[in-house]
Amino acid sequence: MASVEGELRAILAGRSAAKCESAVLDFKEQKPQFKDACLDLADAAVCFANSQGGTIVVGVADAASGQAAFTGCTLDATRLRSRIHQLTQPPLLVEISELTFADRRLLKITVPEGIEVHSTTKGYTYHRINTDCIPMRPLEISRLADDRRGIDWSAASSGRQVNDLDPIALRYCRRLLASSADSARQRYAGFTDNDLLRALKLMTPDGLLTRSGEILLCAAAASAPQEVIVYQHKRTQSGEADAVLRLETPLLLAFEDVTQAIRTRQGITPVTLVSGQQIQIEDYPSAAIREALVNALVHGDWRIKAPINIEHSPQYLRITSPGPLVSGVTVDNILTRGSRARFPSLAAAFLLLGLAEEVGQGVDRMYREMIRSGRDVPQIEDDREEVRVLFRGQPPKTRVTKFLSTLPPEEQQDTDTLLIIRRLCQKKTVTAEGISKLIQRSESEAQDSLRRLAGNPANILEPTRGTINRKRPSYRLRAEALAELGSAVSYHSRAMEEIDKKVVEHLDDYGEINNRTIQRLFDIDVYQARDILQNLVGRGVIVRSSAQKRGVAVRYSAGPAFPGKKRPRVRRGKESTQGHPGEEALF
């Protein structure tokens, strides 16, 4: 995530200020009148306070670029801070500092995320959606107020009795607990009904079921829509549905039914890893789909009384849940933003039953599982009405899966590492500034990740020669990594150039090369080495030089297209003898 100073430099270099704005950064030109300027900035402060906080830079015209964008600011920082406090309700305390840039005085206003819902003294309530300040609707204000006050709608009484529990759902609940690897959870399976409900936090102090308890374990739950999950399967993305499930409460049974429906329609791609282990890659990794579904069930807004919708085809799988993302979480910070559940009681039950990750970790797992299976990351959209998570079902890039399996175990589990490798399969070089938004971290944190991957034990990146002495150089994949990734790299020709370079150097030194040598040079398996040799032979860079035609010991030497190869000059013996008596003929 770029710094304010970095964005100011980008504006000075020619980028428009509007394009440098984000969900946490806004540029403002000072209004001519002090009163109007204070009202304008109070509105902007309310907007950030009702979102995730942010920074307002006053003295920059957002429609301009270059030196012309810096119009400067003459407002007194102390007076402005006081007026913003007076013009907001509850009063906002912002931090204001002066800075000079491009020979202009600017004000930098830092707005904290509010602990309540804030409005202007005129009663206007705004929140920030991407780069816009949008008026909040009554439902959005109510939702945000509950989130910030810690009011858990799902923990309130549903009015239902323990006798209303669905017996099949209760048995399934006990089975989940009994099969848990956690001994404490295993003990829950033997509790009485009342004690079990208390342990799962699904019962109020007066012995009634909470709304979470009703939704999870009761049929015909009044706290939920009639249909809690609607699942459709299509043979093609635009075709007619060949299977439709309309699932009602108990939610616990609906979750199991839809999970099974997705699982039975999964295709499988077998892949043999470098270690020799064979794994099965699903069209949509079950772990990723499970996390997306759990997130929809736990964080979707059940107060809207709308179902979770799932569309499933070979081309894509989309999960849509009602309501926006939880307060403070956006698509731009969802990987790194620490969050709390919208409904803590419901989330706690899913966690204790072993159906969910700790809050804030499920999205990471979705990304990791998709990248490790050789596919695109999930696409997450939030339009304030609903959240959509889309998984693409294209054929897996098995080279990526094989390569990632060779990384140190800690790197295989690191979401930043996987995102960086995925980007480098699409782009030749990356910088800390370029990937900071991708991994949703600061530039310094991004630089730390790049530096770590360039050193031991990962050792898969290297700084480019032209930037190696910079504080934050550009990084690229090492030749060995490029060889292993092969056709998974979109700029495959450049990858082959790196491979060619190492092969040429070896042939210059030793004259011959074989499959075993290729394996050793690039730390790859026999089949990847075979593909490289076939490519080199096909382009004429090398030719077979041994009588043996099959096996890893077949030797190759320089071919007609070998770089720098010169044809020997041949002088005829007769000419040589006549022209230069006593000299030997050169062949």
Distance of alpha carbon 422 from alpha carbon 434, whole angstroms: 14
Domain membership flag for residue 490: no
Structure tokens at 52: 């995730």
Q: What's the CATH number where 541 sits?
A: 1.10.10.10
Are 466 and 399 members of one domain? no
Domain membership flag for residue 250: yes
Q: Partners of 556 in the beta sheet?
A: 513, 544
Q: Give pLDDT, residue 572.
A: 46
Quote the pTM value: 0.79
Q: Give pLDDT, residue 493.
A: 59
Domain membership flag for residue 217: yes
DSSP letter, residue 410:
H
Distance of alpha carbon 424 from alpha carbon 444, whole angstroms: 19
Structure tokens at 213: 């308890």
Are 173 and 291 members of one domain? yes
Task: Give the CA diameter of the chain.
Answer: 120
Q: Which of 474, 472, 495 is nearest to 425 (CA)?
A: 495
Q: What's the CATH number where 466 sits?
A: 1.10.10.2340
Are 503 and 571 members of one domain? yes
Are 185 and 316 members of one domain? yes
Q: Give pLDDT, residue 585.
A: 33
What does each C-alpha distance from 234 to 58, 181, 237 come to in angstroms? 52, 37, 6
What does each C-alpha distance from 16 to 252, 350, 542 come to in angstroms? 51, 46, 52
Domain membership flag for residue 491: no
Q: Give pLDDT, residue 479.
A: 87
Domain boundary among 404, 427, 442: 404
Are 187 and 305 members of one domain? yes
Domain boundary among 105, 136, 167: 136
DSSP output for 474-520: -EEE-HHHHHHHGGGSTTHHHHHHHHHHHHHHHHHHHS-B-HHHHHH
pLDDT in tens, the chain (587 residues): 457 998 999 999 999 999 999 999 999 999 999 999 999 999 999 999 999 999 999 999 989 999 999 999 999 999 999 999 999 999 999 999 999 999 999 999 999 999 999 999 999 999 998 899 999 999 999 999 998 888 999 999 999 999 999 999 999 999 999 999 999 899 999 999 999 999 999 999 999 999 999 999 999 999 999 999 999 999 998 899 999 999 999 999 999 999 999 999 999 999 988 888 999 999 999 999 999 999 999 999 999 999 999 999 999 999 999 999 998 888 989 998 866 789 999 999 999 999 986 544 689 999 999 999 999 999 999 998 999 999 999 889 999 999 999 999 999 999 999 999 999 999 999 999 999 999 999 999 999 999 999 999 999 999 999 999 999 999 999 988 988 898 899 876 556 777 888 899 999 999 999 999 988 888 777 877 888 898 899 888 999 999 888 888 899 999 998 887 654 444 444 444 344 433 333 22
Are 309 and 353 members of one domain? yes
Are 285 and 327 members of one domain? yes
Are 51 and 169 members of one domain? no
Q: Give pLDDT, residue 565.
A: 60
Q: Give pLDDT, residue 564.
A: 72
Q: Give pLDDT, residue 138.
A: 93
Are 198 and 119 members of one domain? no
Q: Which of 568, 566, 486, 583 is nearest to 525 (CA)?
A: 486
What does each C-alpha distance from 540 to 166, 273, 431, 528, 530 come to in angstroms? 72, 30, 36, 19, 15
Residues 6+ apart with CB under 8 A from 477: 421, 424, 460, 461, 462, 485, 489, 495
Q: Partners of 229 in the beta sheet?
A: 247, 308
Q: Kindly report whether the peptide bond that precedes residue 250 is cis, defined as omega within 30 degrees of 0.
A: yes
Number of domains forming the structure of the chain: 4
Are 399 and 414 members of one domain? no
Residue 358 domain boundaries: 150-404
Distance of alpha carbon 369 from alpha carbon 171, whole angstroms: 31
Are 456 and 430 members of one domain? yes
DSSP output for 132-191: EEEEPPHHHHHHHHHHHHT--GGGSB----GGGB-HHHHHHHHHHHHT-S-HHHHHHTTS
Domain membership flag for residue 392: yes
Are 376 and 466 members of one domain? no
The structure tokens 């807004």 sit at: 301
Q: CA-based angle 413:180:250, to the nearest 5?
A: 105
Structure tokens at 483: 């060889």
Domain membership flag for residue 492: no
Q: What's the CATH number where 22 sits?
A: 3.30.950.30
Domain boundary among 356, 377, 404: 404
Domain membership flag for residue 105: yes
Domain membership flag for residue 483: no
